[in-house]
Amino acid sequence: MTTVAERKKKTVRMNGCVASAQAAKYADVDVIAAYPIRPYTATMMALAQMVANGELDAEYIVADSEHSQLSIAHGASSSGARVFTGSSGVGVQFAYELYSPISGSRMPVQMMIADRTLDPPGDFGSEHTDALSTRDMGWLMGWSCDAQEAFDNHLMGYRIGEDRRVLLPQMVCQDGFFVSHITSDVELPDPGQVNEFLPPYKHPYPLDPRHPVSHGPQIMPEQGPPLQLERARAMEESMAVIEEVHDEFAKIFGRRYDPWVEEFMTDDADVVFFLQGAHAVTARFAIQHMRDRGLKVGLVRLRTIRPYPTDRVKEVLSKFKVVGVIETNMGLGSVSSGGVLYAEACAALYESAQRPLVFSFMAGMGGEAIVLKEFYWMTEKMMEVQRRGKIEKRTHWVGFEE
Amino acid sequence: MATIEVQRQLLPILNSPNQGARFYNPELPSSEPFVPGHRTCAGCGPSIQYRMTSKAAGDNTILVGPTGCMYVANSSYLCTPYNVPWAHTQIGSAGSFTAGVAAAYEAMIRKGKWKGAYPNIICEAGDGSASDIGLASISGALYRNHDCLIICYDNEQYANTGIQASSRTPYGGMTTFSPPGPLVPEGKKLYPKDLARMMAAGHPHCYVATASVGYPIDLMNKVRKGLNHKGAAYLMVYTPCQKGFVYETPRSIDLGRLVVECGLYPIWEWHPEKRAFDYSFRPQNMRPVPEYLKLQGRFGHLHAEHIANLQKFANEQWRMMGVELPEALIQAADAKNLINMASAAEAAAVAETV
């Protein structure tokens, strides 16, 4: 026997962009700030149509830039509206000024990001550098690896960010093309389930003429640190809320995600890949393939990078002998001279009594798919490191070496 | 979808024969959305403007403050001078943040999430924000016609950062980014961006006007007209800065009159319904530009030819307003009939004080 809620659920085939738009609709957002840039644009196209059709009652604003998009989102969220915005690539960076003011004023703006390589030279493909460059600005941040997860992360993002214990903005990221433009089945919930899960947005101190407040006045140097500390604590304390919300989500919608890391075939693995986002889908397939040939390889996918689950990453990665970080981002002149994820993995492991050997791969760059033979090549490198017991090179550019 | 109709406020226009009246006006509300206790300089033109405009708007108002003097000098943490909600935003976000507030209230009232009359939403942007870094964001807000009023408090420079030239700094105006020197005797070589006219021309559906703190009733009425206009409105207000203009602090309102009487700040309105400019505002007197320039240290370095250039500029403004020029002003545009403001040494001394 099916319940009423289950009867109203429906499974529809859609891409990540449309799944994000659907999530915004289910969240009954009040203000949408749009500006076109590929590949995230399709989300705003879908929302524009929903507003035009009368399916969603929201102010749909075509902004004059990404800077304005984020400012509109900031103003609307400050007034008490639930806000949705988004961007890709250099667009994410054009708005950079606003990221700290939004998290600093504790406005739970939600931003959808479909990653795009930064210029030069105008590549449409996915690299995570756009969003990752803002990772320390006080936004909750994590990657989805398919359209269903994107839909779910948007709903969970609002619930977490708007929680009075958190009040922080969220970047809900998905890889451009691999998630944003590839269709898969998405289960759309019954609106009643969403109502149960996501209460209406109510900021404690909105810009309301009946209760005048001042947002963001000038401070003296000694007044700054307490506010920064509060923001830092909110980020830290959000971790408990994130776990709580994932539990609640599983109860209401029946899909359970580990909020921090997904482990795939790691039980007896010696070597594992550590990555974020859509390449996990191909990695799972490749790992299955290699397992059939007896290679003891697994996958650890980071689902939330801010707040960074340091203890969890330490605990999980300490189980293995070798960790190969797949970056898919640029960290020019970084710790590993590769991407930025390597340093995050290593820092978490520093306090571990059983540190694996960690090195990194520049793979999936420019929006290229990571193909099976590349997974084999990388696995071979990891096994070589395991055999020798030491790292030759911190970073390998996959496809550029023998 | 059931939607609730948005109720809007209608503010009465003040009847006063003297638009420059400085005396007590019983028609004004007693409420003070902008109260004393801030850190602006004595005689600060923008803060005089702030008090007048917020008073004209009343208590059902939300103020947006992009970075500038009216943010930095006004709003000290735990001690802000606003009796209505106020939010800081980035200097380039003047129009966009304001648009967000307006959109939020449209949606929240319509969807029954907030009950009450639509508030007056006023953005107080300095001329640096309005003419340079925030220009696109303001144009966007005007173009999209959000129900809000965007005020440019025009003190013709970036004053908060220590007097730097903006696109509104007049020809000949000395700032720390446009200092006079042997190779650049006039200081600022460029003429100010015709910002309000640009806003009217580009967004003809908006109510657009210029005003000056020298004419308080006119200013407050324009604020109310802008707020009553359903849609976006833009007001550019002359607000002298004693620190940057270098004048005696009690002369702020005098300068607000003189700049108009000298033809350097035309006061006009753009009526969106008629799609026409209204140039009927006339100051009591017409004066040659030195009357205005000589009160201010920022013009102390000008030579006769530069003053003549400013008179030519003023004469063009008078013609644009449809005013027939008296012979004296035509004569005053000839450098032969003018003398230098001061010696170079005296100008340098003034520059030291900025």
The band of B348, judged by pLDDT with boundaries at 50, 70 and 90, is low
Share of chain B above pLDDT 90, in %: 86
- Identify whether the C-beta of residue B289 lies closer than 8 Å to the C-beta of residue B264: yes
pLDDT of residue B1 exceeding 70, the answer is no
B8 touches chain A (CB under 8 A): no
Query: Which helix or strand (DSSP H or E) is residue A272 part of?
Result: strand A271-275
What does the DSSP 8-state code read for residue A209?
T
Cα A40–Cα A41–Cα A46 angle in degrees, nearest 5:
110
For residue B189, CA distances in Å to B131, B337, B354 come to 17, 22, 19
The pLDDT assigned to B37 comes to 82
Phi first, then psi: give them for residue A170, nearest 5 degrees. -130, 135
pLDDT of residue B87 exceeding 60: yes
Q: What is the DSSP letter of A56?
A: S
pLDDT score of B25 more than 90: no
pLDDT of residue B2: 72
CB contacts of A61 in chain B (<8 Å) are 99-100, 103, 144
Output the average pLDDT for chain A.
Answer: 96
Q: What does the pLDDT look like over A19-78, one tens digit per residue? A: 999 999 999 999 999 999 999 999 999 999 999 999 999 999 999 999 999 999 999 999
Mean pLDDT of B175-201: 96
| DSSP label at residue A206 | -
Alpha helices in A133-278 (DSSP H): 147-161, 191-197, 224-253
Q: How confident is the model at residue A9 (pLDDT cuts 50, 70, 90)?
A: confident
Per domain, the residue ranges of chain A are 4-253, 261-397
- In chain A, the residue whose alpha carbon lies closest to the alpha carbon of B117 is A209
- Number of Cβ pairs < 8 A linking chain A and chain B: 173
Neighbours of A243 (CB within 10 A): 15
CA–CA dist A301, A145 (Å, integer) = 9
pLDDT tens digits for range A118-176: 999 788 999 999 999 999 999 999 999 999 999 999 999 999 999 999 999 999 999 99
Q: What is the pLDDT of residues B65-76, one digit of tens each?
A: 999 999 999 998
What confidence tens digit (pLDDT) does each residue in B125-146 have?
Answer: 999 999 999 999 999 999 999 9
User: Closest-CA residue in chain A for B111?
Assistant: A57
Answer CATH for A261-397 from 3.40.50.920, 3.40.50.300, 3.30.300.30, 3.50.50.60: 3.40.50.920
Q: Is B191 on the interface with A (CB under 8 A)?
A: no
For residue B118, what is the nearest residue in chain A, using CA coordinates?
Answer: A209
SS3 of chain B: CCCCCCCECCCCCCCCCCCCCCCCCCCCCCCCCECCCCCCCCCCHHHHHHHHHHHHHCCCEEEEEECCHHHHCCCECCECCECCCEEEECHHHHHHHHHHHHHHHHHHHHCCCCCCCECEEEEEEEHHHHHHHCHHHHHHHHHHCCCEEEEEEECCCECCCCCECCCCCCCCCCECCECCECCECCCCCCCCCCHHHHHHHHCCCCEEEEEECCCHHHHHHHHHHHHHCCCEEEEEEECCCHHHHCCCHHHHHHHHHHHHHCCCCCCCEEECCCCEEECCCCCCCCCCCHHHHCCCHHHCCCCHHHHHHHHHHHHHHHHHCCCCCCHHHHHHCCHHHCCCCCCHHHHHHHHHHC
Judge if A4-253 and A261-397 fold alike in CATH terms.
yes
By Cβ distance, the residue of B87, B88, B100 closest to A31 is B100
Mean pLDDT value across residues B80-95: 97
Alpha-carbon separation of residue A353 from A194, A356, A400 (angstroms): 44, 10, 34
Q: Which residues, 6+ apart, have CB-to-CB distance to A90 below 8 Å?
A: A37, A116, A118, A119, A130
B36: buried, middle or exposed (CB in 10 Å: 19+, 13-18, 0-12)?
exposed
CB contact under 8 A, B108 and A81: yes
Does residue B24 register a pLDDT over 90? no
Q: Which domains does chain B have, with CATH numbers?
A: 45-288 (3.40.50.970)
pTM of the complete model: 0.95
Q: Average pLDDT, stretch B227-252?
A: 96
**What topology does CATH give the domain A4-253?**
Rossmann fold (3.40.50)
What are B305-322's pLDDT values in tens digits?
Answer: 999 999 999 999 999 999
DSSP state, residue A108? -
Residue A3 confidence class, pLDDT cut points 50, 70, 90? low
Among the partner residues A59, A64, A97, nearest to B139 by beta-carbon distance: A64
